A and B are shown apart, each in its own frame.
Chain A
Amino acid sequence: MSDNTATGPDQFTGATPDNALRAADNADHGPMLAADGTPLKKSLNRALRRQKLRALMLIAPLLVFILVAFIAPIADMLFRSVENQIVADTLPRTTDGLAAWDSTSGEIPPPELFEGLYKDIFIASERKLHTRLGSRLNYELTGVSSLFRKSGRGVEDIGEVYQDQFEDFNEFWKDAENWNPLMGSAEWLEDMAGWDEKSGDRQPAFEIRDEVASVLPETAAMYETFAEFVQFEDEDNLLKEDPWAIVYSALYADLSAGADVASLSGPGSAELQEAAVAVADFETVDYSAAFEEIDKDWHSIEVWQTIQTYSPAYTSGYFLNAVDMKKGPDGPEMRPENERLYIKLFIRTMIMSLVITGSCILLGYPVAWILANLPARTANLLMILVLLPFWTSLLVRTSAWKVMLQQQGVINDTLVWLGVVADDSRLALINNQTGTIIAMTHILLPFMILPLYSVMKTIPPTYLRAAKSLGATDWTAFWRVYFPQSVPGIGAGSILVFILAIGYYITPELVGGTTGTFISNRIAYHISSSLNWGLAAALGAILLAVVLGLYWAYDKIVGIDNVKLGG
C-alpha cells in the first residue's frame, strides 16, 4: 500500500477504511468486490455513511438546541440592524408617491401626496402604529415623534369635515345599518344574518358588492380596510360599527370624480344619487394646508427627505450611525464633531481590553507558576483562593472595589494615614479608566490563571534542570526552555480574557465613570432605554465582526493549534 499518498490524520498505513477505499480506487483490475458481491467501495461508503449519520444523530439534540436557542435569536437580533420595513408598511401610499419626488427641488411634495399621507396616517392611527413609526423616524430626525403623535389626533378632524357634511345632508349616512347593506354583498349579509355573535363562531369576513366596487372604487377599498380591522383586529361586530371618517372622505372623492351612481341599484342607491348631486356644494379639504395646520413641520423639506431616505425596506442607516456617520442628501457623511462617539468607544474598548489582558498575564503568570510547582496539597489550598472570587457574585466584587477605591475609601485612607499622599490630594482611583482596569483585571484573573496553570502542570520540571545542568543561567533556562512551553497557556488565557473583557458591561458601568465605559454600555443603553434596537444590533454586529477578525488574525499569527486549555 505504499502508493497511498495519505496525509494528515490519514497517515496510517494499516487497513483503515479510508485506505481500503483508496486501494479500491487504485485497483486497475476491475472493482474489488465485498463478500455480498457489491463493489467494495460502495459497500464501505455505505458503512461509513451510516457511521457518520449515527454520529450526527448523537450530536443532533445539541445541534438543534444551539441552532434554536442561540444562533437563531442572535441572527434575528443582528438582522434588525438593516431592517426598515416599518416605514413603507405604515405609509405605503406616501412612500410610493415619494419615489417620484425630487428631494433636491426645494419644493414640498404635491397635494396628492398629502392625501395619501392622510389615508396612511388615518389607518395607522386606527391601528396605533403611527406613534411607533414616529419613534422610529425620531432616531433620524428630532421632532418626528411628536409630529406623528399630533398628526394621529389631527387626521380625525380632517376626516370629520366630510363626515359631518354627509351626515348633515342626510341622516342616512350616520348609521352602520345603512352602510353595510350598501357596501356588502348579498351572500355576506345573509351569512351575517345567520351568524350568532354569542356562539363564539368566527364572524363571516366582509365581502364587497361587486357593483359598488366598480362604481365607487376608493370607497370600496377604504370600507374593506375598515371592515377587516373591525372584524379581525378589534373583533367587534361590523354590523354595529359606524364607518371611519376616512370612508366619507373616500366617498366624497369618488362622487366628486363623477362616479356613475345611476347604474347602481339596491339598498341605499337613492340616497347615493342624491348625495352625488349634493357633493358639488360640499366644502372641500385642502390636505396640504390641513397638515400644515396640524404641524408646520409637514411643510418642512427635512421631514420629507427623512421619510424618503428611509422608505426602502432595508437600510444602511443604523450601520452608518454606528460608525458616527449619517445618510446625507449626497450619500454617507460624517456626523458633526460633537455627536461622534462610537468609533471612539470601539477604540477605547479594544485598548482597555488589551491592557486588562496584559495586566492579567503579568499578575496571573507568577501565580500559576507557583501553583504548578508547589506540592499538591498546598497548591490545592491556594487554588481555592484563586477560585473563591470566581464563585462570588460579580456585583458584590465590583461593589467591594468601590469601597476600596473611592476617595474616602480604604486604599486612600491607608495612603493618607501612611503619609504617602496628602489629605487634600487623594488619588482618583475610581470612576475613570483606572477603576475599570483594576476591577476588571481582578474579575477576569481566574480566566488567565486556570489555563496557564493547567499548561504549566504538564511541563516536566526535568527540562529546567536539564537546561541548568547544561550551563544555562536561571533566566536563560526560564526564557529559552520554560516560557516557550507555557505560551499555549498564555494564548488560551489571553483569548478568554480579551473576548470576555470586550463584551463586559456591568463593571465598566459601575466603576468606569465617563472615561472608563465600553461600547457595550451604549449597546445596553440602546436596548433597554432608547429602544433603538436597530442601532444596538448594528453596534453588536460590528463588535462581533471585530472579535471574529481578531480571532482570525490570532489564528494566522500564533495559530489556534497553539492554544491549550490543559494537558
Chain B
Amino acid sequence: MKLTKTLMASTALTVAAGMATADGHMANEMTIVSWGGAYSNSQQKAYHDPYMEKTGVNIINDSSSSEAVAKLRAMNEAGNVTWDVVDVVAADAIRLCDEGLAMEIDPDEMLAAAPDGTSAEDDFGDLLVSDCFIPQIVYSTTFGYRTDMVGDTPPTSVCAVFDTEAYPGKRALEKNPINNMEWALLCDGVAKDEVYDVLETEEGQQQALDKLATIKDDVIWWSAGADTPQLLADGEIVMGSTYNGRLFSVIEEQNQPVAMLWDAQVFDLDGWIIPTGLSDERKARALDYIMFATDTQRLADQAKYISYGPARASSAPLVSTHADLGIDMAPHMPTDPENAKNTFLYNYEFWADYRDDIDAKFQAWLAQ
C-alpha cells in the first residue's frame, strides 16, 4: 500500500512538473534561437547581457537556426512552440511568414524609432523584405583567397574563380545553387542586371551549369559556413566562398595568409522573427526584447564583436572599433563603400519561386 502511494505521489509530481515545463517557461525566462559560435557570442554581448541586466529576464540560448524552419513547423503542428525569438536569414523568414509560422510585425509600432526621430520603417528602409522579419545585420557571401597561393597577381574579379589556369588549385563553393548560378552567369558574359532574367529560362540555367562544369573537378562543395575558413587555413583550397564574418575571423583574429575578394559579393540579411502561437505573456516579452535589441545603439554595438553591418541606416555612423582587437570595424563591413563597388542583393522573390526547381537540376548535375 505504501509502495502504491509513493508511486502515485511521484507520478503526480512528474506529471505536474511536466505540465509546468510544458508551457516551456518559468515566469521570467525566454528562449532565443540563433546560429551559435561567434555570431551568438556577439548577440550575447550586444543584446542579451544588457537586456538581462535591464529587465532581469533570463535568456536561454539555443543554436538551432540552421534548422529553424523545419523545427518551427514541427512545433507548430504539435501545438507547443517553445521558442520566443528566432534568428533566421531573410529567405527563411519569408518562408516562415508564408507558412504562417511567424508573426507579422508593424515596424512603426513594435520597433524603436531612430534617435533623430526617423521612424523604424524608414530607418530599416528596403531591408524590411517580409512582413514578419526584423532585420538585424547585413552580411555578404563572398570569396577569400590564400595570398601565398596566387602568385604576384592577386585576383580582383570574381571570375578568377573560373580561371583555373591563372589560379590553379581547388576552390570551395556552397553545395547549393544560390549565388553560384549568379556568379557563373556573370562570368559567362551576362550583364549584371540581366542575370535573373536569364536564370528564369531553361537555357539560362543550363548555361550557368555549363559554366560551373568547367571547374567542377576543381571544386570542393561546402555545406557549413565553417568549412571554407578551415580549408583556407589548411591550404586545401586557393579560394572559396563563405560569409564575410568568417573570413574576417580567419584574417584578423587567426592571422592566416588570407585576403578578401569583395567583388560581386552577395548581400543577404539576417534578423529576428517571433513565432506565432505564443501566449500573450510570452509574446509581450518577445516584443519587448525585440524593441530593445533592434534599436540604433544595440545594432551598432553588435559590430564591435563581428564584422557584419547593422541593418539600420542610423546605426552605421555609430560603428566603432573591435572590442578585443581594437581595429576600426568600418572598413571590414560589407557595406563599406570601398568594399561595395560591385554587389548583388540576394533576390528573395526569385529564389522563393525557383529554388526547388533549380535545386533539383543543380543536385542532379552534381550527382552526374
Chain A residues with a Cβ under 8 A of chain B? 128-129, 131-132, 134-135, 138-139, 142-146, 149, 338-341, 344-345, 348, 406-409, 431, 509, 513-515, 517, 522, 527-532
Contact = CB atoms under 8 A, between A and B. Distances in A.
B235 to A, nearest CB: 5
Nearest to B70: A528
29 contacts: A131-B97, A131-B99, A132-B100, A135-B98, A135-B99, A138-B352, A142-B353, A142-B354, A143-B353, A144-B353, A145-B98, A146-B349, A149-B352, A338-B364, A345-B367, A348-B367, A407-B170, A408-B234, A408-B235, A509-B223, A513-B221, A514-B366, A515-B367, A527-B70, A528-B70, A530-B355, A530-B356, A531-B95, A532-B356
B353 A132 contact: no
Nearest to B170: A407
A531 B99 contact: yes
Contacts of A134: 98
Interface in B222-241: 223, 234-236
A339 B366 contact: no
Contacts of B66: 528
B236 A338 contact: no
A180 to B, nearest CB: 27
State the main secondary structure of chain B at its contact with A.
Answer: helix
A139 B356 contact: yes
B73 A531 contact: yes
Contacts of A348: 367
B67 A528 contact: yes
B283 interface: no
Nearest to B350: A146
Contacts of A132: 98-100
Nearest to A535: B356
Contacts of A531: 69-70, 73, 95, 99
A50 to B, nearest CB: 22
Given A138-B356, A145-B353, A339-B361, A528 B223 contact: no
A344 B73 contact: no
B284 interface: no
Contacts of A339: 360-361, 364
Contacts of B73: 531
A146 B349 CA distance: 7
Contact of B357 (A142, A341, A527): A142
Report, nearest first, the 5 A-B pairs whose CB atoms are least far apart. Answer: A131-B98, A142-B357, A528-B70, A341-B364, A514-B366
B236 A407 contact: yes
B220 interface: yes
Given A149-B98, A528-B69, A514 B360 contact: no
A341 B99 CA distance: 27
Interface in B332-368: 349, 352-357, 359-361, 363-367
Contacts of B364: 338-341
Contacts, number: 83
A431 B359 CA distance: 20
A134 B95 CA distance: 11
A437 B175 CA distance: 20
B363 A341 contact: yes
Given A528-B66, A529-B69, 18 more contacts: A128-B100, A131-B98, A132-B99, A135-B99, A142-B354, A143-B353, A143-B354, A146-B349, A339-B361, A341-B360, A408-B234, A408-B235, A513-B221, A515-B367, A517-B367, A528-B70, A531-B69, A531-B95
A509 B234 CA distance: 20
B206 interface: yes
A282 to B, nearest CB: 32
A404 to B, nearest CB: 12
B356 A341 contact: no
A348 B367 CA distance: 10
A406 B236 CA distance: 7
Contacts of A340: 364
Nearest to A513: B221
Interface string B22-59: 00000000000000000000000000000000000000
B363 A431 contact: no
A350 to B, nearest CB: 15
Contacts of A517: 367
Interface in B102-125: none
B220 to A, nearest CB: 6
B304 to A, nearest CB: 31
B352 A145 contact: yes
B367 A514 contact: yes
Contacts of B349: 146
A18 B67 CA distance: 57
A344 B365 CA distance: 12
A338 B98 contact: no
Contacts of B359: 530
A149 B175 CA distance: 28
Contacts of A345: 367
Nearest to B366: A514
A92 B367 CA distance: 40
Contacts of B220: 431, 513
Contacts of A408: 234-236
Nearest to A133: B98
Contacts of A514: 175, 221, 366-367
A134 B360 CA distance: 18
A138 B357 CA distance: 9
Contacts of A129: 100
Nearest to B352: A145
Nearest to B69: A531
A132 B101 CA distance: 10
Contacts of B352: 138, 145-146, 149
B288 to A, nearest CB: 22
Contacts of A139: 356
A135 B95 contact: yes
Contacts of A138: 352-353, 356
A536 B97 CA distance: 22
A139 B354 CA distance: 9
A71 B66 CA distance: 28
Nearest to A522: B363
Interface in B150-178: 170, 175
Contacts of B235: 408
Q: Which of B170, B359, B363 has the largest number of chain A CB atoms within 10 A? A: B363
B30 to A, nearest CB: 24
Contacts of B236: 406-408
Contacts of A338: 206, 361, 364-365
Nearest to B175: A514
